[in-house]
A and B are shown apart, each in its own frame.
Chain A
Amino acid sequence: MTGAAHDLAARQAALVSALVAGGPLPPGFAAGPVEAARRALLRKRGGEVARHWPLLAAGLGADWPATFAGWAAGRPGNGSLRDGWDLARTLRERDALPPVAAEELALREAAARYDGRQAPRPRRLPAVGRAGGAVAVQLAGRVRLLRPAPR
């Protein structure tokens, strides 16, 4: 890249970092509008994750936007599937998964192997998924809920 393109590249990178990774506001930008954009990005991202994890969002109900935004702020996105998976596991560790969300996570855990770093891959061997008391099993590619989460 030429010097000019490198300069624009560096400045674009600094701006994205401020918007999604908790980086500092680049020099000269107005703080208020950039903050409004940062919040708008979180809302949009939250809506996209909710589409991939409908029961996670529905289970949290009115708390969903704030729960998602609190978790996602400063954490760059890895795609809606992984973002929702990571958030659901975080809530599982805190015993904060609503029952329907626990069942959704248990079903996903039984169906696919996800190491937290790479895209989830379908499991080939029989597997059990657990979350918040919910238990799901996968046999020959068919996934079903063995035990619902306690209400």
Chain B
Amino acid sequence: MTATGPAGLGIGWRPEIAGFVADLPGLRFVEVVAEALAAGGPLPDGLAALRGRGVTVVPHGVRLSLGGAEPVDPARVAHLARVAALVDAPLVSEHIAFVRAGGLEAGHLLPLPRTREAVAAVAANVRRARAELPVPIALEPIAALFDWPDDELDEADFLTEIIAATDAYLLLDVANVYANARNRGTDPLALLDRLPLERIAYAHVAGGAEQAGVYHDTHTDPVPAAVLELVGALCDRRRPPALLLERDGHYPPAAELRAELDALAAASGFPAVT
């Protein structure tokens, strides 16, 4: 990323924790769910105040469905483009996933088959989106609760081919890497060793929990120690320019959230923001 991209330790801005985020003295970077903002503004007060302080704001889309076989909805791309302009974003991010098909909304990010056909579908939609977006896009691999039966590529090859085919940046979610490896019984470090780490614009970290033998990337639980270790392992290989904590509910007391940010700072070597 360029010097204007996200840098250091950040946190996902959510209305419920706007007060907490506003009080983080060292914060230089937040992410906001793109679909939660009105394209015509105004920004929520807390977010506008952060922009006024020069904090970088990255819109993070969750409903573009870039991995859908159907062409991405131009109205959704236009919304993301307007939101990016509204917050003066250096880049936007979205997922390597689909969220709707055949007129039905899944309500969550669904995995793609790891096939060249799917790589081509993502590449076509990223190309359509980039034609309208004022800034670069970073693509985030998701935590998949199941796999398709006809995968041709392993995770590393699939992601590497997508990044090569789209010329997009990578938004690596360390918790998703952990969740997928744990649920598939694979080695997360082996995946890190084969990803184009130099393409990472920033990384995500979030909490999760095991339910009925499956690890769920819930964003409503604390960040497990194993995920913090994986953050350390990533930073040992090549530290991404920025690292962002995502929390999406069951917000803990401020002291716990501060401790989680401090633990991330310690694991990554970034300065504390608290």
Give chain A's interface residues, CB within 8 Å of chain B. 1, 4-17, 19-21, 27-30, 33-34, 36-37, 40-41, 44-45, 47-48, 76-77
Contacts and interface: CB of A to CB of B under 8 A. Distances in A.
Nearest to A13: B102
Contacts of B105: 16, 20, 76-77
Contacts of B121: 5, 8
Contact of A37 (B69, B70, B102, B145): B145
Contacts, number: 89
Contact of B146 (A9, A27, A29, A45): A29
Contact of A33 (B101, B104, B107, B146): B146
Given A1-B69, A33-B145, 8 more contacts: A8-B121, A11-B113, A12-B98, A16-B100, A16-B104, A28-B150, A36-B145, A40-B108
Given A1-B69, A36-B212, A12 B101 contact: yes
Interface in B240-267: 249
A17 B102 contact: yes
A17 B104 contact: yes
Given A29-B149, A41-B108, A12 B216 contact: no
Classify chain B's interface size.
20 to 34
A142 B117 CA distance: 54
Interface of B: 68-70, 98, 100-108, 110, 113, 117-118, 120-121, 145-150, 211-212, 214, 216, 249
B155 to A, nearest CB: 16
B107 A30 contact: no
A47 B106 CA distance: 15
Contact of A44 (B103, B108, B117, B150): B108
Nearest to B115: A8
Given A5-B121, A29-B148, A19 B110 contact: yes
B145 A16 contact: no
Contacts of A33: 145-147, 214
Contacts of B102: 9-10, 12-14, 16-17
B104 A21 contact: yes
B106 A8 contact: no
A20 B107 contact: yes
A16 B148 contact: no
Nearest to A28: B149
A44 B8 CA distance: 30
Contacts of B149: 27-30
